[in-house]
């Protein structure tokens, strides 16, 4: 695998303050027009809690004359569990890339009609579809990013640039409770394909994690950033947007994020319509709205996650402080060396089994 040499270790508070101001100044300037015939209707959205701009929903309600009921979940497992029980009426869901193939396989998506989503053309060609939904039959990209190392620069005392530093750090760290992410990292560290299907290679990745776990004090449920805030850990494996949002919330320059030189993976969110939607037509309208350049830019600038909306970038709607930050928007060269963590239903049981062995060794 080629090495990814781009990393970031900067004062994030100033960057994100600029981005938030930029997003606030840009809001309510969309030229998107709602199709007629939806006034008085209701849309039910199920999304992550910190994965949308403050004005996104309210602007849509005003533009279409509709009501949006917005519920949140904290993990893909929670989303899957809810939908497997039977959709209570959600019209929009935003699963991570790991959950998309499972949802397709289990029939949890309704098919999209891209003719009703003309803003789909705004998406960057290389980010337009998921490898497991190549024709965007069920999902369209929403936001993307990377997972890497978030850390308290004041505690660590040096720039962190590699997974090796993380695993050998003499201080408390947190892993993320995600078998595919953690074993992919382990595979990279032992020199194998992060999407290996070889049982011996996957076992070797698990063994690497076990042998380099002495500094682990927690396996976090995607809340490693909160452990950083509480001072429980000095480093955490986290998503870039979570760390950048943390820097804004704390109004400080303590926190940094790095894309490790050994390489790391994409983290992507996709928008789809779950089976059993009560308002499929309005859901497609909402997806088209989300892909409007200004709406996409507002969401990206507010959340500090990269947008797949190339038109928003080309029109200068993304805050330059974010766009020029390689920890948020890796260069095209760097993007070629960031891998997708590809779900593999046939290998899922093995990955989970190895990950369980790792956690048991840690007493988790």
* Low-confidence winner among 14-28, 70-84, 153-167, 289-303 (lowest mean pLDDT): 14-28
Report the candidate in 67, 83, 82, 77 with the shortest Cα–Cα distance to residue 274.
Answer: 83
CA angle (227 as vertex; 71, 12 as ends), nearest 5: 85
**% of the chain beyond a pLDDT of 70:** 91
Q: What pLDDT shows up at residue 32?
A: 96
* Low-confidence winner among 16-20, 112-116, 278-282 (lowest mean pLDDT): 16-20
Q: What pLDDT shows up at residue 188?
A: 96
Q: What pLDDT shows up at residue 4?
A: 33
Fold topology of 147-263+341-361: D-Maltodextrin-Binding Protein; domain 2 (3.40.190)
Q: What pLDDT shows up at residue 275?
A: 98
- Residue 13 neighbours by CB distance under 10 Å: 19
Would you call 364 helix, strand, or coil by DSSP?
A: coil
- All residues at 6 or more sequence positions from 207 whose CB lies less than 8 Å from its CB, including other chains: none
Q: What share of the chain is helix, strand, coil (3-state, %, to 5)?
A: 40, 20, 40
Would you call 10 helix, strand, or coil by DSSP?
A: coil
Q: What pLDDT shows up at residue 334?
A: 65
Pick the CATH number of 19-144+267-336 from 1.10.645.10, 3.40.190.10, 3.40.50.620, 1.10.760.10: 3.40.190.10
- All residues at 6 or more sequence positions from 162 whose CB lies less than 8 Å from its CB, including other chains: 260, 261, 262
pTM of the model: 0.75
Cα–Cα dist 235/163, whole Å: 11
Average pLDDT for 11-31:
49
Residue 311 has pLDDT above 70, yes or no: yes
Find out whether 197 and 260 touch, Cβ atoms under 8 Å.
no
Instruction: Decide which of 86 and 244 is more confident.
Output: 86
| Residue range(s) of every CATH 3.40.190.10 domain in the chain | 19-144+267-336, 147-263+341-361
């Amino acid at each position: 695998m080629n090495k990814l040499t781009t990393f970031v270790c900067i004062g994030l508070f100033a960057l994100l303050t600029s981005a938030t101001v930029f997003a606030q100044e840009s809001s309510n300037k969309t030229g998107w027009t709602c199709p007629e015939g939806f006034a008085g209707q209701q849309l039910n959205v199920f999304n992550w809690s910190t994965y949308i701009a403050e004005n996104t929903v309210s602007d849509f309600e005003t533009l279409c004359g509709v009501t949006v009921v917005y519920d949140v979940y904290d993990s893909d497992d929670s989303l899957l569990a809810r939908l497997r029980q039977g959709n209570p009426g959600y019209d929009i869901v935003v699963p991570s890339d790991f959950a998309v193939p499972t949802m397709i396989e289990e029939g949890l998506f309704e098919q999209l009609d891209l003719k009703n989503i003309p803003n789909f053309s705004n998406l960057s060609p290389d980010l337009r579809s998921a490898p497991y939904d190549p024709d965007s039959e069920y999902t369209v990209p929403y936001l993307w990013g990377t997972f890497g190392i978030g850390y308290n620069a004041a505690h660590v005392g040096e720039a962190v640039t590699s997974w090796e530093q993380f695993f050998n750090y003499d201080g408390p760290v947190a892993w993320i409770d995600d078998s595919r992410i953690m074993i992919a990292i382990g595979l990279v560290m032992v020199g194998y394909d992060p999407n290996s299907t070889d049982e011996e290679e996957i076992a070797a990745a698990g063994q690497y994690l076990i042998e380099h776990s002495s500094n682990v004090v927690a396996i976090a449920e995607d809340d490693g950033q909160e452990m950083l805030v509480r001072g429980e850990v000095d480093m955490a494996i986290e998503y870039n947007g979570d760390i950048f949002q943390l820097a804004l919330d704390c109004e400080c320059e303590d926190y940094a994020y790095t894309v490790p030189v050994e390489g790391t993976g994409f983290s992507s969110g996709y928008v789809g319509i779950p089976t059993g939607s009560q308002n499929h037509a309005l859901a497609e309208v909402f997806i088209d709205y989300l892909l409007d350049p200004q709406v996409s830019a507002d969401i990206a600038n507010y959340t500090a996650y990269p947008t797949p909306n190339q038109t928003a970038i080309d029109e200068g709607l993304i805050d330059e402080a974010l766009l020029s930050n390689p920890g948020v928007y890796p260069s095209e060269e760097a993007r070629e060396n960031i891998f997708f963590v590809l779900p593999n239903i046939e290998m899922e049981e093995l990955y989970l089994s190895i990950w369980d062995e790792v956690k048991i060794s840690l007493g988790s």
